[in-house]
């Protein structure tokens, strides 16, 4: 099919990465802070530690390495849309937008660096 080389085939990118410190800016957990556990760019969602806790029913599974796994209700984190979280500035500890800039490396190569637009410091 011709004409499918634009947004459909391109993998979406996000400015939030695994291990970042973020704050929730919208939803039931607004104001809570946490560390990003996992990132799902194809769905535009992130998994943040201690945020959007859900209760999930699990069956007893007797297969695999640990056959004594218990079933029941488990509480775990649910994903949050990336538009509902914002990076925390390393200096001021307040929400800040992220930007990218090109910097020259020691070897003369150009390196893309993520920085805080509020303070200018790197994340």
Counting the structural domains of the chain, the total is 2
Asked if the structure places residue 1 within a domain, the reply is: no
Query: Strand pairing of 79-81 and 33-40?
Result: unpaired
Asked if the structure places residue 39 within a domain, the reply is: yes
Q: Are residues 113 and 80 in the same domain?
A: no
pLDDT at 70: 76
Query: Which percentage of the chain shows pLDDT scores above 90?
Result: 57
Asked if the structure places residue 3 within a domain, the reply is: no
19-28, 33-42, 106-115: range with lowest mean pLDDT = 106-115
- Distance (Å, whole) CA 12 – CA 10: 6
pLDDT at 6: 54
pLDDT at 32: 96
pLDDT at 100: 92
């Amino acid at each position: 099919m011709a004409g499918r080389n634009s947004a459909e085939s391109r993998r979406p990118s996000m400015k939030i990465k695994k291990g970042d410190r973020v704050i929730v800016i919208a939803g039931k957990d607004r104001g809570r802070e946490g560390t990003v556990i996992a990132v799902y760019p194809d769905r535009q969602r992130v998994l943040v530690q201690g945020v959007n806790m859900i209760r999930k029913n699990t069956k007893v599974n007797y297969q695999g390495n640990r056959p004594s796994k218990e079933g029941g209700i488990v509480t775990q984190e649910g994903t949050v849309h990336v538009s509902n979280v914002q990076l925390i500035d390393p200096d001021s500890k307040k929400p800040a937008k992220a930007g990218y800039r090109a910097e020259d490396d020691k070897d003369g190569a150009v390196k893309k660096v993520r920085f805080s637009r509020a303070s200018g410091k790197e994340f």
